[in-house]
Amino acid sequence: MLASGMMLHAVAQGSAQVVPARAQMATTLGFHIILACLGIAFPSFVLLAEFIGLRRRNETALRLARRWSQAMGVLIAVGAVTGTVLSFEMGLLWPGLMRQYGSVLGFPFAIEGLFFFLEAIFAGVYLWGWQRLPGWAHWWSGVPIAVSGIFGAMSVIAVNSWMNQPGGFTESGGQITSVSPWQVFFNHAAIYEMPHMILAAYMVAGFLIAGVYATGILRGRRDRYHYAGFAIGFVPAAILTPFQIFVGDTAARSIASDQPVKFAAMEYVTQTSRQVPEWIAGVYVNGNIYAGIKIPYLDSLLVGFGPGTRVIGWDSVPPADRPPVVWLIHLAFDVMVGIGSLLLLWGLWAAYEWWRRRRLPPQRPFWWAGAVSGLAAIVAMECGWVVTEVGRQPWVVYQYLTTADAATRNGGVVTTLTLIIILYAVLGVATIAILRLLSRRWRRGDTEEDVPYGPSPEPQSADAGEAGR
Amino acid sequence: MASDAVGGILLAGITLYAVFGGADFGGGLWDLLAGTTAQGRAPRALIDESITPVWEGNHVWLVFDLVIFWTAFPYAFAAVMNTLALPLWLALAGIVLRGAGFAFRKELSHLSLQRAAGATFAFSSLMTPFFMGTVVGAIAAGAVPADGTRASLAAWTSPTALLAGFLFVAACGYLAAVYLVGEAASRGNRAMQAYFARRAQAAAIVAGGLSLAALFQLQDSDPVIFDRLTSGRALPFVVVSGVCGLAVFALIAFGWPKVVRAIAALDVTAVVWGWGVAQYPVILPGTGVTLSNAGAPEATMVALIVVFIVAVVLVGPSFALLYALQGRHLLGGGEHVAVPAGVPVADMRPPAVGRHRQQPPPTEHVGSATRTAALGLVTIAAVIRRLRHR
């Protein structure tokens, strides 16, 4: 959906290479960001499970941690290579961006490299240390993975937020003459983009874990193991959801002042005015909004807490400087907000049931919601990226460099795009197939000792396997 | 000069990627050449066990080098990425397939799927160093114009670039074989120690021959670099590399795998630094693009130096810990070691690479590896000759 959306509106720009280049960036980034979320947040959940297991001598939690870290091994490997694709694409697809601003936006990437190192090194220790390292030493070897996941995410988001709110450099005669690295890193948009993405990563990972076990519970596997797996994913993610909504709301208000044209596209603000209505859903075509629900004054209220708040519309800039296909931006924004709100309500349902009866809701709809919560969180996160990235167009560096000027002039991007779509389709299917294979193997519970990649099996089952041969 | 320091950091990063990441690619090469399922089981298991916990950490050097390159020298970076887009795409495809193939192979239980994933891993381990080599060869031969905006096929299909591609593959195989001798020795596995010692010698011959060929090819394509390598300031590196190569060839059969491993790493290090010193201070030979005029302002350079120092302080000890744990076999399954691609599912005996297990020596004729190496060299030489005379 992301890729086709990008394709559609990129067509409107007309330049030959920028179209496939953006489609390719959208495909590869849209794919990698899911793995990135898991890379950032999944280790924390594994560590949480192992912590519970070690602290309370809880065999179930330990088994969960051990199995999750096996899945984590696969996901980190695929994430490492798809992340490398993006590093190459920065130069191969956007040489104009790197040539002009490489010296400015490169520094946060260097810091990210540092944390990527720590993540990969300690993943090597943690994933393979299950068998021979003592319990708590092993747990501590996983802590740097979780910490560097957060700081690595901050560094990458520093680059993206800088592209939205560039600063910390001076340019004269087309040359970068000075750079102030800290202002680049902690730019104006970083304050809200960083927590927004890190919280999103934790929500995606937590709800995905919860979703796997909710599905199992729906299928009748109502045992301690499944409830524990659900709870360790669900509880942190549900607790973070209201914070995410607060951060997102703050971000939207900041965008209204920092990038008013993006905000106008998000909310269908055609003209700068007061008493602006809020549109829920609706498709904007040639000045008309179809199938939308209009709530008077609400947009002004949300932006400035009063119906008289003046909101800048997209008429404030010439048509060439407006983002294309505003309906995509608006709908993506609405879907993200809608899913976030539903996840909040779902979490409140569980909280209420726990408060009154000290249990999780037994109703099947609660677990149906659980089964799809992970996918919903992914959709919301992807929609957020559509808003950020498509909403910034036609700029790659907001008000400094257009995407068309940054794109490669080499032909053949259509070819690489096609090949990458095929490759990523295979990669995606294979990754999911292998995770399912692992899950089936765990359910059978008897052949874990034959699994080489990932932590070794529990000693007792291994011994049993050995004897059985 | 800050830009010189960052140039040194970049070269150090490239060296570390070559010495550590290169060996992981070389492991894939030996996996590819390990023969049929039954024949290749022992070497594949050893390769798998040696690469598994460390390859991702080693891979990060590539990302780190790319980042330093584009941050410090953005003009040169853009020119390289534009001009050499095709080999870079191909190297990238290799990186994706290698990582995914390696990770997937371990989780698959069907022999045919394991074989497919294993073949993907092994073949792409060949592809990536080759195309990276052509990129470096093209840069060294001065085929990247300062304001390059268009991809050029000629730039990386010149004899120098292709030779560099073959040289990279051979060097990866050489490093991997030497390291694997050490891995086998530390597990008390005499058969594998001998197996990889022969391959290390063969790869040393090929890599040495290709280095000499590449050196003399540079005489035509980039005489400035050739002069510096053969009689100028880069000569000591060439000498060190040659001596190291001979030492590895002579010593590998006699044991001391740790010493030999260090000498082989020094060998590759000398090649990388010989190249760097020979073209200093120019980044893109044949152009006026130098370390100081290729891009970034002073503050960026200083920031990169600070990041590098922090990296040395944080990442250095972390790597030391990882390699120390790996060296003591504390990572991985111990008795329940990797089952590499191609192990018949029905024949699931405990893999024969355990520390205390001996296995029958692989059935192969002594010297067949050396013969293959010589044949390979002759073939490559013939290809290059044809290209030159075209």
Nearest-CA distance B228 → chain A (Å): 30
- With an 8 Å Cβ cutoff, are B89 and A121 in contact? no
Judged by a CB distance cut-off of 8 A, whether residue A85 touches chain B is: yes
Output the pTM of the full model: 0.87
Q: What pLDDT was estimated at residue A176?
A: 87
Residues of B in contact with A114 (CB under 8 A): 307, 310-311, 314-315
A396, containing H or E segment: strand A395-397
Q: What pLDDT was estimated at residue A308?
A: 87
Interatomic CA distance for residues A260 and A248, integer angstroms = 16
Tell me which DSSP letter residue A193 carries. H
Interatomic CA distance for residues A335 and A80, integer angstroms = 29
CA proximity to B137, closest of B8, B257, B23, B271:
B271
Q: What pLDDT was estimated at residue A49?
A: 95
Nearest-CA distance A191 → chain B (Å): 21
Judged by a CB distance cut-off of 8 A, whether residue B333 touches chain A is: yes
Q: Which residues pair with A285 in a beta bridge?
A: A288
Tell the residue number behind the tokens 């870079």, with chain if given: B88
Q: What pLDDT was estimated at residue A456?
A: 39
Tell the residue number behind the tokens 């085929």, with chain if given: B143
Residues of B in contact with A125 (CB under 8 A): 53, 321-322, 325, 331
Interatomic CA distance for residues B142 and B287, integer angstroms = 7
Tell me which DSSP letter residue A411 carries. S
HEC string of chain B equals: CHHHHHHHHHHHHHHHHHHHHHHHHHHHHHHHCCCCCCCCHHHHHHHHHHHCCCHHHHHHHHHHHHHHHHHHCHHHHHHHHHHCHHHHHHHHHHHHHHHHHHHHHHHCCCHHHHHHHHHHHHHHHHHHHHHHHHHHHHHHCCCCCCCCCCCCHHHHCCHHHHHHHHHHHHHHHHHHHHHHHHHHHHCCCHHHHHHHHHHHHHHHHHHHHHHHHHHHHHHHHCHHHHHHHHCCCCHHHHHHHHHHHHHHHHHHHHCCHHHHHHHHHHHHHHHHHHHHHHHCCECCCCCCCECCCCCCCHHHHHHHHHHHHHHHHHHHHHHHHHHHHHHCCCCCCCCCCCCCCCCCCCCCCCCCCCCCCCCCCCCCCCCHHHHHHHHHHHHHHHHHHHHHHC
Judged by a CB distance cut-off of 8 A, whether residue A100 touches chain B is: yes
Question: Can you say how many angstroms the Cα of residue A330 is from the centroid of all Cα atoms in its chain?
Answer: 19
- With an 8 Å Cβ cutoff, are A116 and B62 in contact? no
- With an 8 Å Cβ cutoff, are A128 and B70 in contact? no
Mutate to test the interface with B, among A38, A111, A410, A435 (most CBs of B within 10 A): A410
Tell the residue number behind the tokens 């980042």, with chain if given: B67
Maximum pairwise Cα distance, chain B: 63
- With an 8 Å Cβ cutoff, are A453 and B71 in contact? no
Of the candidates B60, B104, B105, which has its C-beta nearest A113's C-beta?
B60
SS3 A192: helix
Q: CB of A28 within 8 A of CB of A89?
A: yes
Q: What pLDDT was estimated at residue B7?
A: 92
Q: What pLDDT was estimated at residue B375?
A: 67
- With an 8 Å Cβ cutoff, are A408 and B85 in contact? yes
Judged by a CB distance cut-off of 8 A, whether residue A156 touches chain B is: no
Mutate to test the interface with A, among B46, B292, B336 (most CBs of A within 10 A): B336
Judged by a CB distance cut-off of 8 A, whether residue B287 touches chain A is: no
Q: Which residue of B has its CA nearest to A175?
A: B295
SS3 A311: strand
DSSP A239-256: HHHHHHHHHHHHHHHHHH
Nearest-CA distance B379 → chain A (Å): 31
Q: What stretches in chain A show pLDDT beneath 50?
A: 1-15, 446-469
Residues of B in contact with A454 (CB under 8 A): 106-107
DSSP A261-308: HHHHHHHT--S-BSSPPEEEEEEEETTEEEEEEEETTHHHHHHHSSTT
Tell me which DSSP letter residue A456 carries. P
Nearest-CA distance A75 → chain B (Å): 9
Judged by a CB distance cut-off of 8 A, whether residue B145 touches chain A is: no
Nearest-CA distance A209 → chain B (Å): 20
Q: What pLDDT was estimated at residue B340?
A: 38
Interatomic CA distance for residues B196 and B40, integer angstroms = 12
ipTM for the complex?
0.86
- With an 8 Å Cβ cutoff, are B92 and A128 in contact? no
Nearest-CA distance A66 → chain B (Å): 13
Q: Dig out the tokens for A310 from the structure.
A: 């003046």
Q: CB of A449 within 8 A of CB of A461?
A: yes
A188: amino acid identity, one letter: H
Q: What pLDDT was estimated at residue A294?
A: 87
Q: What pLDDT was estimated at residue B344?
A: 32
Q: Dig out the tokens for A449 from the structure.
A: 């000792």
Q: CB of A410 within 8 A of CB of B85?
A: yes
**Cβ contacts of A150 within 8 Å, gap of 6 or more:** A40, A198
- B116 class by beta-carbon count within 10 Å (0-12 exposed, 13-18 middle, 19+ buried): middle
Taking CA atoms, B319 is separated from A109, A125, A291, B54, in Å, by 20, 10, 58, 9
What tens digit of pLDDT does each residue of B170-215 get? 999 999 999 999 989 888 888 999 999 999 999 999 999 999 998 8
Q: Which residues pair with A281 in a beta bridge?
A: A292
Question: How many CB pairs lie under 8 A apart between chains A and B?
Answer: 258
A235, containing H or E segment: helix A224-258
Q: Which residue of A has its CA nearest to B96?
A: A81
Tell me which DSSP letter residue A314 carries. G
Nearest-CA distance B103 → chain A (Å): 6
Of the candidates A128, A447, A466, which has its C-beta nearest B52's C-beta?
A128
Question: In tens digits, what is the pLDDT along chain B, a chain of 390 residues?
Answer: 788 999 999 999 999 999 999 999 999 999 999 888 888 888 999 998 888 888 888 999 999 999 999 999 999 999 999 999 999 999 999 999 999 988 888 888 788 888 888 889 988 999 999 999 999 999 998 888 888 888 888 889 999 999 999 999 999 999 999 999 998 988 888 899 999 999 999 999 999 999 999 888 888 888 888 989 888 899 999 999 999 999 998 888 777 888 899 999 999 999 999 999 998 888 888 888 888 887 788 889 999 999 999 989 999 999 999 989 988 888 875 333 333 333 333 333 333 333 343 344 444 444 555 666 666 667 666 666 666 665
Taking CA atoms, B101 is separated from A427, B118, B143, B338, in Å, by 10, 6, 33, 15
